[in-house]
Amino acid sequence: MPIARRTLLGTGLATAILPARPLRAQRRGGTLNVIVQPEPPTLMLGVNQQGPVELVGSKIYQSLLTYGFDLKPRPGLARAWEASDDGLRYRFSLQEGVRWHDGTPFSAADVVFSFAKFLPDTNPRARAILANVASVSAPDAATVQVEMKQPFAAFLSGFVPSSLPIVPRHIYEGTDFRTNPANQRPVGTGPFMFKEWQRGQYIQLVRNPSYWKSGLPFIDEIYFRILPDAAARAYALESGEVDVGAPDAVELFEVERLTSLPQLEATGRGSEFASPMTWIEINHRVPPLNDRRFRQALLYAIDRAFIRDRIWFGHGGIPNGPIASTIRFHDPSIRPYPYDPARAEALLDEMGLRRGANGVRTTLSLIPLPYGETWRRLGEFLRQSLARVGIAINLESMDPASWIQRVSNWDYQLTVNRLQQFGDPAFGVARTYISTNIRKGVMFNNTMGYANPRVDELFALGASATTEAARATAYSEVQRILAEDVPVAWLLEIRTPTIFNRRVQDLISTALGVNDSFDSAHLTR
């Protein structure tokens, strides 16, 4: 290693420079049609991380790294990176010749602005990562240096487009980030550029002719088709009107029928990083939801095997706590709550929450996740299940934007949510339960208002410990505490497939699945 680099960063550097994946001969051109469901409220990944926003926005925006199926980092906007042995310094060498979609050169100043100003203000995922950063600087236009407050073992696993997207400083500096007009016509560095959005019909992206990866992308344009009706989405795949149905694009009972057709294929690849989990989110500010016996009763009252087998048609697993079985540091020794309505009733009686003359103990509202028929059926099943133990549920229906507003502002009692775990508990798990992430008006964090100082301490230890054994010990203890406290009622580890037409090749090339760039995807005809 050159002396100048050693002097700058100190001794004991681990360096990674990975070549791009070799490509076979591919056909250039063509239009890719993809279902997006529901219609996203924006395409600006920095200010909104909902699934539909991530699906479209990840073709426009990029981060410094991406991840192979083994969850190890690969080059993104950074072509190389270095980490000191003590975990306190990182240096990223940026790709050459990168330009924003408006032609402005990309530089380290954009990364510094994104990390130091934009993302801490707008993005709860980024906030949890960047809270560990002491400073970000640009020694030159092609280099970014990060100094950490303390070691953060998961840092190099956090660079996905939805968590740490790089945004253009020249467009956002000095503006209101959430209302900047560029949020409606996004400008990124990715392989596809925004062209048109016909609300209720489609979002059109076109090939970036100045993309920094030579010869890519292969596809000329992508249409993200907005099809609110589930039957129409299934027909569009069957008829060839669309090529790709991302996970949850079609009703799960349709998966077996559709994938029996010769032109269609399904894959579970690309879900490794996300490992999504769904649960009942519980507002602890509202009695009796602030009593953990009530929250435990919710889990005992719900037949989660029925949810897995009859609502998700086997595409999932039953969680034993907050960390999915598909990511690091999951503790399999924790026993899941069994389906036991009698135990639920006993806990409710113990609380003094007894049935009235009408058989009802209490009445609560529940907002199903507004993402389609499967989620509505789940809401109805939860209503029926809880009624059996004397908890009356009023279901509230609303569009995704209204749901975000209500839940992020704590104006709810119960709702169904689905969050991704991002390969490491420091990212996708801790954000839900640590008390420092209770922020009104910000979604996908600790909207429940749950606070436990020991949980905060253990998540901090798990993130900063420098050995795998110490991290595992911290995360095992925090799983046991949360399994007892039940801040949310965990329902299912979701494992839904991506369905696509066989004419689409190399669609999924990383552990990010359909939420990566599609820059190597191509069509056979």
In this structure, are residues 348 and 375 in contact, taking their beta carbons and an 8 Å threshold?
Answer: no
Q: Are residues 362 and 230 located together in one domain of the fold?
A: no
Domain boundary among 173, 204, 232: 173
Q: Are residues 352 and 486 located together in one domain of the fold?
A: yes
Q: Is residue 123 part of a domain?
A: yes
Q: Are residues 163 and 265 located together in one domain of the fold?
A: no
Q: Is residue 151 part of a domain?
A: yes
Q: Are residues 464 and 335 located together in one domain of the fold?
A: yes
Domain boundary among 146, 173, 200: 173
Q: Are residues 418 and 347 located together in one domain of the fold?
A: yes
- 392/411 Cα distance (integer angstroms): 19
Q: Is residue 2 part of a domain?
A: no
What is the structure's pLDDT at 387?
98
The reported pTM is: 0.77
In this structure, are residues 422 and 158 in contact, taking their beta carbons and an 8 Å threshold?
Answer: yes
Q: Is residue 6 part of a domain?
A: no
DSSP 91-114: EEEEPSS-B-TTSPBP-HHHHHHI
Domain boundary among 121, 148, 173: 173
Q: Are residues 232 and 356 located together in one domain of the fold?
A: no
What is the structure's pLDDT at 25?
57
User: Which has the closest alpha carbon to 193: 204, 182, 201?
Assistant: 204
Q: Are residues 454 and 338 located together in one domain of the fold?
A: yes
Q: Are residues 224 and 138 located together in one domain of the fold?
A: no
Q: What is the pLDDT along the chain (525 residues), one digit of tens a residue?
A: 232 333 344 433 444 544 444 445 577 899 999 999 889 999 999 999 888 999 999 999 999 999 998 888 999 999 999 999 888 999 999 999 999 999 999 999 999 999 999 999 998 878 878 988 999 999 999 999 999 999 998 899 999 999 999 999 999 999 999 999 999 999 999 999 999 999 999 999 999 999 999 999 999 999 999 999 989 999 999 999 999 999 889 888 899 899 999 999 999 888 888 899 999 999 999 999 999 999 999 999 999 999 999 999 998 999 999 999 988 899 999 999 999 999 999 999 999 999 999 999 999 999 999 988 889 999 999 999 999 999 999 999 999 889 999 999 999 999 999 998 988 999 889 999 999 999 999 888 899 999 999 999 999 999 988 888 999 999 999 999 999 999 999 999 998 899 999 999 999 999 999 999 999 999 997
Total count of domains within the chain = 3
Q: Is residue 408 part of a domain?
A: yes
Q: Are residues 47 and 124 located together in one domain of the fold?
A: no
Report the side by side order of strands in the sheet with 264-267. 192-198, 202-207, 221-226, 31-36, 244-245, 498-501, 264-267
In this structure, are residues 439 and 124 in contact, taking their beta carbons and an 8 Å threshold?
Answer: yes
Q: Are residues 506 and 490 located together in one domain of the fold?
A: no
For residue 439, what is the DSSP state?
-
Q: Are residues 447 and 472 located together in one domain of the fold?
A: yes
42: CATH: 3.40.190.10
Q: Is residue 467 part of a domain?
A: yes
Q: Are residues 425 and 333 located together in one domain of the fold?
A: yes
From the CA atom positions of the chain, what is the Rg in Å?
23
Query: Could you list the residue range(s) of the whole structural domain that residue 212 is in?
Result: 30-54+190-269+497-525
What is the structure's pLDDT at 352?
97
365: CATH: 3.10.105.10
